[in-house]
Amino acid sequence: MPSETGFPRADVENDFVRARRRQILARLAYRLHREPDDVSLILPFDDVVSALGRTMRSRSGRLIDGVVQTDAALNPGNSGGPLVDSQGRVVGVNTATIMGAQGICFAIGADTAEFVASRLIRDGRIRRSYVGVMGQGVPLHRRIIRYYDLPSDSGLLVESVVAGSPAERAGLRERDVIVRFDGRSISGVDDLHRLLTAERSGQSAEVEVVRNTELRKLFIVPQSQRD
């Protein structure tokens, strides 16, 4: 901004903030054993968190919950670096950016990252349970929704059942539509994925399916997911 003399006026406050930001980044990078450019920092009136609780699809097809959306600078190669606030607290792990989308970046929430890290340290992998079905979300007929007082207007259509799987032993068939699992509403594949945690393995759960126009209740015992 020009001064009254016509010469450019130095933005001392912003320059100080930027310098302070780089100083904090350098100290954090040293303590985290990373390069300063691998650390993304959120400071007041600088980078901001624009949304919480976002979701993002992983390469395996699973939906990642609790994603943090921010405009903190994130360049290719920065993935895996910590996203920290002005107090030096890690709030997430930098994961992805949308190129050409005004710097919108995404970080896995700290709670999710901590959970995954602890399981990798303990087991060497993330263990989940599975039931052995493949399918997709489909809308339900309004009459069926009203008649059975279903909580959602869609369910998980079973397109195939793996031979010898928990689903086959439970009696699930192709064309069944799963609408509840252990009392939780199922409207698609992602809802079932969220419930199939490692703790579910070996525990019987009630599954409600719509077969033709009839609501049936089956009992299924998820197993530990195969390697």
The dihedral through the CA atoms of 13, 18, 23, 29 has a sign that is positive
The full set of domain ranges for the chain reads 12-123, 129-224
Q: Which band of pLDDT confidence, cut at 50, 70 and 90, is reported for residue 52?
A: confident
User: CA-CA distance, 221 to 215, in Å (whole number)?
Assistant: 20
Rg (CA), the chain: 24
Which of 99, 97, 72, 75 lies closest to 83, judged by CA?
72
Decide if pLDDT at 170 tops 60.
yes
Amino acid at 79: S
Containing 66, the helix (H) or strand (E) segment is strand 63-70
pLDDT, tens digit, 9 for 90 and up, residues 124-150 = 877 888 899 988 889 999 999 999 999
CB contact at 8 A, 70 and 107: yes
Q: Write out pLDDT tens, residues 116-128.
A: 788 788 878 778 8
User: Which residues are within 8 A (CB) of 219 and not within 5 positions of it... i.e. 6 or more apart?
Assistant: 170, 204, 205, 206, 207
Strand pairing report for 105-109 and 205-211 = unpaired
CA distance 220 to 203: 8
CATH superfamily for domain 12-123: Trypsin-like serine proteases (2.40.10.10)
pLDDT tens readout for residues 59-69? 766 667 778 88
- The residues facing 105 across adjacent strands are 70, 97
- CATH code of the domain occupying 129-224: 2.30.42.10
Say if strands 40-41 and 82-84 run parallel, antiparallel, or are unpaired.
parallel
106 or 214, which is more confident?
Answer: 214
Average pLDDT, the chain: 76
pTM of this prediction exceeds 0.95: no
- pLDDT-derived band at 26 (thresholds 50, 70, 90) equals very low
Residue 49: pLDDT band with limits 50, 70, 90: confident
**pLDDT (0 to 100) of residue 72:** 72
Paired sense of beta strands 184-185 and 63-70, if any = unpaired
- Distance between CA atoms of residues 143 and 186, nearest Å: 18
Q: Rounded to an integer, what distance in angstroms lies between the CA atom of residue 171 and that of residue 205? A: 13
Residue 182 has pLDDT above 80, yes or no: yes
Question: Bridge-partner residues for 178, per DSSP?
Answer: 156, 209
Q: Is 168 helix (H, G, I), strand (E, B) or coil?
A: helix
